[in-house]
Structure 1
Amino acid sequence: MTAPLILIEPYAHRPGGHHQHALVALARARPDSWVIAPHGITRETTTALRKAKARVITAPTGAVAAVLMVGSRVMSAFSAVGLRAFRSGRWPRAVRRLPHQVTLLARCLTEAAALRTACVRAPNADAVVILTASEALHGLAALLGGQPHLRFVHEISTTEDLPLRLVGRLVRRAEPRAIALYPTAAVAAQAANRFPRLAGQVRTYAIDDGTERISPAERACGRTAFAIPDDEPAVCLVGGWWPHKDLATLDVALGKLRRPLHLLVAGHPLNEPTLDRWRQLPYVRLHLTRGPVGEQFLRLVYAAADAALVVRRPGVAKESGLVMDSARYGIPLLVSDHDPALTAALQDQPWARTFTAGDPTSLAEALSTTTSTPLPRPGPDASRLLGMWPATDQADLLTRTYARLLPKEPRC
């Protein structure tokens, strides 16, 4: 018999993203698990979790958790005001970074409130996991939360400045109450330099149960939905245009095309002037869907595409949910060589074509080659190649890892 998990997802209120997929998959693997979504949860995810027999909590339980959540909301409000007030480059860098430091504190208080809620609602769960954890203040979250836990740290995007580093040092004895899980070795190395006392291990975040591959019938539906003829090539560009994505290189590369190409763009935020330029390009057929999209529509986008396109800046080495989607859904992949480890894993894979990161000519050649010579679809072994495991194996790993904390720290 397996006991339920406590799955904490601070971003369950945001539609789209592979965190929603992992949350639901783990809940299915462990029926009767508790899902704590401190900022709310999307309707689509709520429906899926109900089918998985998960118990969903969206409000803090207990006085301490309620106070911590109020503190988080106050800090978030201050951060939003600061981001607007200090976004001009005329302010010193330390001042412009201040709102991001407040955001780190707000995220820490949210995590602590969720951990306190877990203590009250399910004190005997097999594992307590924050699926999308902050990259900072690990010890403070464990101390205020009063709960040993695992925390998936997906990237190091904002580092602690001096005031938060001092806070971290004051509570660093609480860091052994948590174990960090990093999706790539590169993220683990970054974190180890900043938090040498925090135990951690590398574990791919994305999950694949081998049941989500897009069928030929879905492909036909996708092509029909976007009015793309079967004999015309199409690639998809999914997700928001965040700073780690190299849209400037893609912008130039599309202008170099000499063959027609359907480009399916779905996500938020997007850059409207860039989209306007693409509409005017003679060989680009743009199909645009604004805003975060749910998983069912996302499948439709992937189904219509001959390949998924991942364009990142050199040196970005966090896990790519889009690369994992490509393997899960069985979609060929065009990907920049921004991450040496990922490039090595994809070497000699017939379903993946790499191009030089930051090089528009290399990207244009990859796109042109795809229009003339389509890539084969990845086989069922593609997910394991990228380190993905079934949800049951992931849940078992979380349980075993969490057990390492229990002899040291009492629950709650």
Structure 2
Amino acid sequence: MNRPLALVEPRAGRTDGHYSRTLLALARAHGDALVVVPQLTPLALAAELGTAGATVATRPRGARAALLTTAAHWTAFCASALGTVCSPKRRPARVRRIPYQLRLLASALGEAADVRTARRLRPGTAVVVLTAAPGLHALVGLLGGPHLRFVHEITTTEDPSLRLLGRLAGRGRRKVLVLAPTQATRDRFVTRFPRLAVQVRPYGLADPEDRIGEEERAKARAARGLSERDTAIALVGGWWPEKDLLTVHRALAQLACPITLLVTGYPLDHQRLDGWAKLPNVRVVLEPSPASDTAVRELYAAADAVLVSRRRGVGKESGLVVDAVRFALPLLCSDHQPELSRALRGKPWVRLYPTGDSVRLAEALDALADQPLPRPGGDAAALLGIPTAADQVAFLTNRRPGEPR
């Protein structure tokens, strides 16, 4: 019997990323979780959560949670209103940063309201914020109460005014346990917030039943006009700054063997996609975004390998690497992060290439035509330390803020 669990996902209304999938997987594994999500969460996701046995809350419960939610909405409104006023480059950096600081404050207030809502609906339960803001952690603990929080990356810093607010909320530190998906993220976090408890814990999940079967693979390839001899590469996810698409662009122009590029995500550079489609050895198959989890799975099912290309030094967890393990697909990956490279090196289903080296990437893509990589075995997730949903639920319900690091 699982202990009580409340899952808070501030980004459940977004179509990019792995937010809804991880939320659903944890809800299914627990069977009776409380899930706190924004009011704009898609009805289909709320229905799936209900089918998984979860109780879904989209509104604040209690006067303090309602007050915090209102404050978060007004702060976010002010951030948006000031965005165009403060953004011109001629303005000092401290002025240009004001909207970002307000958005960070709005996120913290909203998270505190959600944590309070979860604790009011189910007192004594373990509360977990699955995609937490990158700052003001103590403030969320002080205003919301004890909880665990996944911090995936540090995307902005706290200016003096927010650092002062964090110091005033210092008592809230004892109510927070931060979970960093990678050691690199943890190292960055403890440099910024040395007085907060933080532990490395993967966020991505891989369950044995997620593995793509041969029959499913054959159907997906046939639907996209792929024969057994064709080579198809999955390029999934939005083209954010940490992605190294320039190296991919240069590699595709050097190919000696034809490939089909299976693309989905948001945002994408459609002008560049059109350019790729005109290259002699590239065929582009685009799955329009936002794509459902089923559509993304079908795209992966048609692929011979997953391509991960990142800029050097990017240390946050790669959802695409987790997807390769989860769906049992070979992986082509840049060696952008030493910790990840050490974990992947020597695996027969992985080909690492030097970050930014388009020649080596082109060679790796060409080699797939003559020497396809084997699919990862059933033990790949365990070897890389990727938990199952049941493992994650057990971990989250047995950890409490204030415990030793």
User: With structure 1 as the length reference, what TM-score do the two structures score?
Assistant: 0.94
How far apart, in 2, do the equivalents of 1:35 and 1:148 lie?
Answer: 16
Structure 2 spans left out of the alignment, 5+ residues = none
Residue 80 of structure 2 corresponds to residue 114 of structure 1: no
How far apart, in 2, do the equivalents of 1:83 and 1:233 lie?
Answer: 45
Paired residue for 1:137? 136
Query: How far did 1:166 drift?
Result: 1.4
Query: How far did 1:45 drift?
Result: 2.6
1:207–1:389 Cα contact (<8 Å) kept? yes
Q: How does 1:286-297 map to 2 (within 5 A)?
A: 286-297=284-295
Tell me which moved more, 264-273 or 13-22: 13-22
Paired residue for 1:306? 304
What secondary structure sits across from 2:89 in the alignment? coil
How far apart, in 1, do the equivalents of 2:67 and 2:399 lie?
Answer: 30
Amino acid at match of 1:313: R
1:241–1:271 Cα contact (<8 Å) kept? yes
Query: How far did 1:103 drift?
Result: 1.2
What secondary structure sits across from 1:211 in the alignment? helix
Tell me which moved more, 38-47 or 332-341: 38-47
Query: Among residues 346, 362, 365, which one is paired with 1:364 in the alignment?
Result: 362
Amino acid at match of 1:46: A
How far apart, in 1, do the equivalents of 2:403 and 2:322 lie?
Answer: 32
Query: How far did 1:86 drift?
Result: 4.1
Alignment RMSD (CA, Å): 1.7
Tell me which moved more, 18-27 or 212-221: 18-27
Paired residue for 1:387? 385
Residues 1:96 and 1:274: Cα distance change in structure 2 (over 3 Å): farther
Q: For residues 45-77 of structure 1, what are the alpha-carbon distances to aligned partners after superposition, in whole Å with 9 as ceiling and x for unaligned? A: 323312211000111112221221122222222
Q: How does 1:207-218 map to 2 (within 5 A)?
A: 207-218=205-216
Amino acid at match of 1:122: R
Paired residue for 1:63? 63
How far apart, in 1, do the equivalents of 2:128 and 2:265 lie?
Answer: 28
Query: How far did 1:26 drift?
Result: 1.5
Query: How far did 1:2 drift?
Result: 2.6
Query: How far did 1:330 drift?
Result: 0.4
Query: Among residues 175, 185, 188, which one is paired with 1:187 in the alignment?
Result: 185
How far apart, in 1, do the equivalents of 2:187 and 2:169 lie?
Answer: 22
Q: For residues 141-193 of structure 1, what are the alpha-carbon distances to aligned partners after superposition, in whole Å with 9 as ceiling and x for unaligned? A: 11111x10000111111111221111111212211110000100110111101
How far apart, in 2, do the equivalents of 1:202 and 1:398 lie?
Answer: 13
How far apart, in 1, do the equivalents of 2:356 and 2:152 lie?
Answer: 23
Query: How far did 1:16 drift?
Result: 4.8
Query: How far did 1:292 drift?
Result: 2.6
Aligned residues: 404
Q: For residues 305-354 of structure 1, what are the alpha-carbon distances to aligned partners after superposition, in whole Å with 9 as ceiling and x for unaligned? A: 10011110000011111100100100111111011111110111011111
What secondary structure sits across from 1:371 in the alignment? helix
Residues 1:319 and 1:392: Cα distance change in structure 2 (over 3 Å): same
Query: How far did 1:247 drift?
Result: 0.9
